[in-house]
Structure 1
Amino acid sequence: MCQLLLGCTTMALVAHSAGFSATYGTYCMFVWCFCFAVTLVVFTLDVTRLHGCMPISWDNFTVAFAMLATLMYVTASVVYPVYFLRSECPSEGCEVRNYRIAVTVCSSVCCFAYGAEVFITRAKPGHVVGYMATMSGLLKVVQAFIACIIFGALANDSEYNRHIPTQYCVVVYSLCFAVTVVVVALTVSGRTSSLRFPFDRFVVIYTFLAVLLYLSAAVVWPIFSFDKKYGTPGRPEDCPRGKCPWDSKLVIAVFTSVNLVLYFTDLVYSQRIRFVSHSSA
């Protein structure tokens, strides 16, 4: 209910006077509308107990969505004030600035509401929960979200097609993203038990391969983007903000390293879970 109240308030403030424009504003509005709509559906199905009729693993779905909504709200709460909030009053007047401040506050508070749901429903020692509630499952959602940020930077004139090694990096991002989404989809749909191979072992092997692939991309991408022989070490002075290939390359390099750390953490945690389970048996 807190998520619905804050989400509705944020959308109302934006529609009333705060306003939005361009691609960044459209993305923020999409985040608020999408999260509100799905949260409303989840709340309705939960209250009416109709979620039992859904052909999905309800617990896995709700915690996966809560994690995704947290990440989406975090990005919207950062992007909106960066592009629409200024210390001085805009041409529309100081009232518009005040509404935009209120939007930023409501969106930021809603981050904590979704984050609190993830914290409450996450796996705890001694409790039997779905895979998505474990650290490994939550990391899968974060990994897919970070990959989407990388794809956005790739699409923003990143010049990745200038070198074959950078094209290889795009293949790495796409392959790991696709398999991660499949893992999440199979878990949420509750189809893992019907597979003809041990799903947990497959996830561990895939995570190990993803670590190796991202490690290679974390080395190759900076070399062919910032080395003097292939790219530009420093940011060009005549590069416009928001439309600079160098900025996109930097974003990709940073988030490649972030995802490498996430996959490595996922691998370590998965091995620890398998060791504890094997020892208990």
Structure 2
Amino acid sequence: MDLQGGPYLNIKALCSPLGAARLCQLAMGCAVIAMVTHSAGFSGSHGVFCMAAWCFCFAMSVVVFFLDATRLHSCLPISWDNLTVTCAAFATLMYVTASVVYPLFFVRIECPYAGCHVRDFRIAVTVCSILCTVAYGAEVALCRARPGQAVVGYMATVSGLLKVVQGFVACIIFGALANGSEYYHHAATIYCVAVYVLCFTLTTLMVIMTVCGRTKAVRCMSFDRFAVVCTLLEVLLYLSASVVWPVICFDAKYGSPWRPSSCPQGRCPWDSKVVVAVFSFINFGLYVVDLIYSQRTRFVSSNTRANPRV
């Protein structure tokens, strides 16, 4: 018991829908890692990515659950609500990706050379990964701000959650750019890369400001107005990049409208260019939706930490 007569541990971190979702994340995450290391196995860049995603999300969930249960997060100079919903949204995206990539590359109907027990373990890994995805999604749903609310936790709003998705999509674009996209051959595609970097930087900056509780750092305007200005700029920049990139990369004058037959599988610059083009359109749509929703957001800046969500 503490000096005020209450329990030392935060009971609501255990006995609440949010606590149940986090316990499910820990259980399923531990099961996935244990089965992969025990018998399911992984190999290659795709397997390494899946294992890294599972381990990172599990470690993040352990830290979040421990800090919430012990109330030690109150000692940190951060906005706890913003941090936890950001972590949950990011983990949801990571688990969704791993839950698609792992069965796509490692699960087969027929038994592999190692025996049917390996296949069964890999199927079990996929199922547990999907269940963990649902658990992280449930946490996001429980923490999400309802329409019409004036909230302190900006990351709990639709606009805040979209920031996480935009950053994740940008990371996919950067991965495709690094995978032999040959963007440096034309000044126009270099401009597109600069757009992706600038928009990613602005998005990351807004996330960091909210998580660190520095929403009053912009002195000339409120934070929600600052978010709208940045989002409008990102919409315009992504609009230009979404037009310039496919024109330069797939026009016969500068590139090839069709995939070259001699292009190696997995290391083909044309494939990377297609990935960049597709996800540029996706991120452009996300920024447009963000701009629409941000008109309805009324974020309340506060120097005091919000109470943990239950």
TM-score range, shorter chain: over 0.9
Match of 2:273 in 1: 249
Q: 1:182 aligns with which of 191, 194, 205?
A: 205
Structure 2: 5+ residue stretches without partners: 1-22, 299-310
Q: Distance in 2 between matches of 1:217 and 1:93?
A: 49
Q: 1:209 aligns with which of 208, 220, 233?
A: 233
Query: 2:218·2:226 contact (CA, 8 Å) conserved in 1?
Result: no
Give per-residue Cα distances to partners, 1:192-225, cap 9 Å, x unaligned: 1244232222211111010010000100111111
Q: 1:229 aligns with which of 253, 256, 261?
A: 253
| 1:103 equivalenced with 2:116 (yes/no) | no
Q: Trace 1:105-124 onto structure 2 (pairs within 5 A).
A: 105-124=127-146
| 1:89 equivalenced with 2:107 (yes/no) | no
Which of structure 1's runs of 4+ aligned residues deviate more than 4 A? none
| 1:33 equivalenced with 2:78 (yes/no) | no
Match of 1:169 in 2: 192
| 1:131 equivalenced with 2:159 (yes/no) | no
**Equivalent pairs, count:** 274
Instruction: Provide the aligned C-alpha RMSD in A.
Output: 1.2
Q: Distance in 2 between matches of 1:111 and 1:45?
A: 22
Structure (1/2) with the larger helix percentage: 1
| 1:140 equivalenced with 2:169 (yes/no) | no
**Higher-RCO chain (CA-CA 8 Å, sequence separation at least 6):** 2
Q: Distance in 1 between matches of 2:71 and 2:52?
A: 28
Match of 2:98 in 1: 76
Q: Distance in 2 between matches of 1:245 and 1:10?
A: 34
Q: Distance in 2 between matches of 1:167 and 1:125?
A: 39
TM (norm. structure 1) is 0.94
Q: Which amino acid aligns with 1:251?
A: V
Query: 2:99·2:130 contact (CA, 8 Å) conserved in 1?
Result: yes
Q: Trace 1:143-154 onto structure 2 (pairs within 5 A).
A: 143-154=166-177
Give per-residue Cα distances to partners, 1:84-112, cap 9 Å, x unaligned: 12222222222211111111111111111
Structure 1: 5+ residue stretches without partners: 275-281
Query: 2:95·2:133 contact (CA, 8 Å) conserved in 1?
Result: yes
